[in-house]
């Protein structure tokens, strides 16, 4: 009965989304992007193809799964890699990625969609990243005895699986041949509902972020701007972050250089930020033919280069935590062995909680706290360097999830999959 009600609700939701799409750009992408999924799959997958299917909810989960995707691609070169997204924010950014042979949306979780999708793809192995539990797809995979893994998973006690009314969702978990979970608490929760096929492997994001150190992160224009001065990089910032930064920068009498990479790079937001900063400021879009070394503040009004910019930072501030938009990626700056400052709302981000407890990240609640910690980090080299080392060591210690997962895949092939 519960399954029946679920399927009715999915169908109703699909109809409602078509109406909402008339007024909402993101929902419109969600709907229109799914129109040609089956045609796209049929034109790119031949019945004789061997396929490994990765499902990721959005961009964050894709980045989380990428180390495993790349390793499987390397070890199984004769297989096609299919990556599906639920959210437009993931698909629109990564639809042309070289990491996969086919990238598409996952159709809504109806019985007919699930059956048709798996008929076409006929995967040898399926890997879901972190979460996304779609009962019809999972039921279809179980029925066909297709090996299915959940990686970088994290479970919480307040989830339906662990409630008296969660039998319907608990049954979906039986599809997974193995769970690779981020922490011991997740493993204990699964064991509490009689799922003992779990390994604490950690989070593949640590493997992903560690690989950044092996890339070419050089940006000559940033090097020119920095000019061997102490440099603070504020990444993925929002208006509430800009208030903190502008106040501090305007009162700073040192030679410290500041780089601000706002999350929203619309002209109106950039102009407002620039107007509030009294120091000599240059925009990325207007950097050409400028003597960058003469400026104290560099505003990055473009996307795609923040990770490389972090490699030039001596101190980082990561935005999102002062408001309710959600804290952005703290691991990207932390991997470079520098101290990180964040806002007050970080409790849902396990790595931030851990790094605060470890001493490498500092959370602030007010302008006064922000001013105090930043002044200490600027003036006291030993404090700054020690906090940075704590971050680097933490990430190094957390590496290895990818290897555990890929070792399992190699030792437990599905159908014809074999390393």
207: in domain? no
Token look-up 């922490």 returns 183
Domain presence at residue 283: yes
Q: Does residue 419 carry a pLDDT above 60?
A: no
Clarify whether residues 124 and 234 are in a common domain: no
pLDDT per residue over 346-400, tens digit each? 998 989 999 999 999 999 999 999 999 999 999 999 999 999 999 999 999 999 9
In the predicted structure, residue 414 carries a pLDDT above the cut 80: no
Please state, in angstroms and as integers, the Cα–Cα distance from residue 297 to each residue in 265, 293, 343, 371, following that order. Answer: 16, 10, 21, 17
Helix (H, G, I), strand (E, B), or coil: what is residue 19? helix
Predicted confidence at residue 350, as pLDDT, reads 86
Verify that 41 and 134 share a domain, yes or no: yes
Q: For residue 50, what are its two tokens?
A: 């061997």
- Is 208 among the domain residues? no
Say which residues have a Cβ less than 8 Å from residue 248's Cβ, sequence separation at least 6: 367, 370, 371, 374
State what percent of residues in the chain have pLDDT above 70: 98
- Shared domain for 276 and 392, answered yes or no, is yes
Residues 93 and 73 sit within 8 Å (Cβ to Cβ): no
Residues 256 and 274 in one domain: yes
- Report residue 210's pLDDT band, with 50, 70 and 90 as the boundaries: very high
In a domain, 418, yes or no: no
Q: Do residues 67 and 402 make contact, with C-beta atoms less than 8 angstroms apart? A: yes
Q: Quick check: is 211 in a domain? A: no
Same structural domain, 259 and 187: no
Local structure of 368: helix, strand or coil: helix
Identify whether residues 155 and 279 lie together within a single domain. no
Q: Based on the fold, state whether residues 259 and 189 are members of the same structural domain.
A: no
Q: Please report which confidence band the pLDDT of residue 404 belongs to, taking 50, 70 and 90 as the band edges.
A: very high
212 belongs to a structural domain? no
Q: Kindly state whether residues 154 and 229 are assigned to the same domain.
A: no
> Are residue 354 and residue 315 in the same domain, yes or no?
yes
Return the higher-pLDDT residue of 50 and 412.
Answer: 50
Give the least confident one: 134-143, 159-168, 213-222: 159-168
Same domain, 190 and 266: no
For the segment 147-164, what is each residue's pLDDT rounded down to a tens digit? 999 999 999 999 889 988
Percent above pLDDT 90 for the chain: 79
Region 129-145 average pLDDT: 93
Q: Which two tokens mark 30?
A: 């969600």
Sequential DSSP letters for 347-358 = TT-HHHHHHHHH
Pairwise pLDDT comparison (96 vs 415), residue with the higher score: 96
Confidence (pTM): 0.82
For 270, the token pair is: 């950039």
Residue 34: pLDDT band (50, 70, 90) is confident
Considering the domain architecture, whether residues 170 and 238 belong to the same structural domain is answered as no
Q: Tell me, what CATH number does 300's domain have?
A: 3.40.50.2000
The enclosing domain of 126 has a CATH number of 3.40.50.11720
Of residues 61, 124, 140, 332, which has the active-site annotation?
61
pLDDT of residue 20: 75
Q: What share of the chain is helix, strand, coil (3-state, %, to 5)?
A: 50, 15, 35
For the segment 30-50, the average pLDDT, to the nearest whole number, is 90
294 is catalytic: no
Q: Which domain holds residue 170?
A: 1-202+400-411
Instruction: Quote the number of domains for the chain.
Output: 2
Annotate 220-259 with DSSP letters as a single string.
Answer: HHHHHHHTTS-EEEEEEE-HHHHHHHHHHHHH--S--EEE
Rounded to an integer, the average pLDDT of 15-36 is 80
My answer on whether 89 and 194 are in the same domain is yes
User: For 211, phi and psi rounded to 5 degrees?
Assistant: -65, -20
> Would residue 210 count as lying in a domain?
no
Average pLDDT, the chain: 92
Measured CA to CA, the distance from residue 298 to residue 14 in angstroms comes to 45
The per-residue pLDDT for 304 is: 87
Residue 416 forms part of a structural domain: no
Tokens found for residue 214: 């092996």
Q: What is the mean pLDDT of residues 35-60?
A: 93
Under a CB-based contact definition with an 8 Å cutoff, are residues 142 and 169 in contact? no
């Amino acid at each position: 009965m519960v399954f029946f009600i679920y399927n009715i609700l999915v169908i109703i939701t699909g109809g409602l989304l078509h109406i909402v799409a008339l007024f909402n750009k993101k929902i419109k992408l969600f709907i229109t992007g799914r129109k040609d999924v089956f045609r796209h799959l049929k034109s790119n997958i031949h019945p004789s193809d061997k396929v490994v299917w990765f499902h990721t909810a959005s961009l964050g989960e894709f980045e989380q799964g990428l180390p495993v995707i790349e390793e499987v691609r390397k070890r199984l070169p004769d297989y096609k890699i299919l990556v599906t997204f639920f959210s437009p924010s993931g698909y629109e950014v990564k639809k042309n990625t070289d990491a996969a042979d086919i990238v598409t949306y996952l159709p809504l979780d109806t019985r007919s969609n699930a059956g048709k999708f798996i008929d076409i793809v006929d995967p040898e192995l399926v890997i879901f990243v972190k979460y996304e539990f779609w009962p019809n797809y999972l039921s279809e995979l179980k029925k066909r005895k297709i090996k299915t893994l959940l990686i970088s998973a994290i479970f919480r006690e307040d989830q339906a699986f662990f409630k008296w009314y969660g039998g319907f969702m608990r049954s979906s978990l039986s599809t997974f041949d193995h769970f690779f979970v981020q922490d011991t608490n997740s493993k204990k929760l699964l064991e509490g509902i009689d799922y003992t096929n779990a390994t604490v492997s950690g989070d593949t994001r640590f493997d992903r972020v560690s690989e950044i150190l092996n890339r070419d992160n050089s940006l000559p224009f940033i090097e020119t701007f920095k000019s061997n001065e102490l440099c603070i990089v504020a990444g993925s910032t929002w208006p509430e972050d800009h208030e903190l930064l502008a106040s501090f920068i305007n009162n700073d009498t040192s030679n410290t250089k500041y780089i601000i990479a706002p999350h929203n790079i619309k002209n109106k937001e950039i102009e407002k930020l620039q107007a509030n900063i009294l120091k000599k400021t240059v925009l990325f879009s207007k950097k050409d033919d400028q003597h960058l070394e003469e400026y104290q503040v560099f505003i990055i009004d473009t996307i795609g280069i923040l990770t490389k910019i972090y490699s030039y930072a001596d101190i980082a501030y990561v935005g999102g935590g002062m408001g309710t938009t959600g804290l952005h990626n703290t691991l990207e700056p932390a991997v470079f062995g520098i101290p990180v400052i964040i806002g007050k709302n970080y409790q849902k981000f396990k790595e931030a909680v851990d790094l605060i407890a470890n001493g490498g990240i500092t959370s602030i609640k007010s302008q006064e706290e922000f001013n105090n910690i930043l002044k200490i980090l600027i003036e006291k080299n030993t404090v700054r360097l020690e906090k940075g080392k704590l971050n680097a060591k933490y990430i190094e210690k957390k590496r290895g999830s990818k290897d555990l997962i890929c070792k399992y895949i190699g030792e437990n092939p599905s159908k014809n999959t074999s390393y």
